[in-house]
Amino acid sequence: MLKGIPKILSPELLKVLCEMGHGDSIVIADGNFPAESVGRNAKVIRMDGHGTCELLEAILKLFPLDTYVDHPVQLMQVVPGDKVETPIWDEYVNIIRKYDDRGSSAVSHVERFRFYEEARNAYAIIATGESALYANIMLKKGVVV
């Protein structure tokens, strides 16, 4: 056990966060995301019993967002024609605001298949049990100062 480390962050996930360098990306994936196939060349960390918001909050306590890019946070866009509400995106922005002054301006929305392509290049993918639709979120790591 360590002091000050959110208990939700497993030793495996802490190691991955520490290994990541500036510009590396990590995906916090919802329960429908094809983590194993998209993450074939990444480290896939199973956290099926947890939600994306609790993981985002814990990660951002330790993980700076990249300040050298306009949008270090990417969300998967709703597919045109899908009649889906995405209230979880508001929750994400509220969490991001606590840790990054850019708040919602740090966030961009990426077309579904482009998100998958970018996720294939992620350093790691966290597979959660999140049931909200379009809850996938990708973070680009910044510099620890």
Mean pLDDT of 55-67: 97
Rounded-to-integer distance, Cα 7 and Cα 50, Å: 12
Looking at the chain, the number of H-run helices and the number of E-run strands are 5, 6
**pLDDT value of residue 56:** 98
Instruction: Give the contacts of 41 (CB within 8 A, at least 6 positions apart).
Output: 120
CATH of the domain spanning 11-140: 3.40.1650.10
Mean pLDDT of 112-119: 98
pLDDT digits (tens, 9 = 90+) for 72-85: 999 999 999 999 99
Q: Mind telling me the catalytic residues?
A: 22, 66, 116
pLDDT digits (tens, 9 = 90+) for 24-51: 999 999 999 999 999 999 999 999 999 9
Domain range annotation of the chain: 11-140
Query: Does the pTM exceed 0.85?
Result: yes
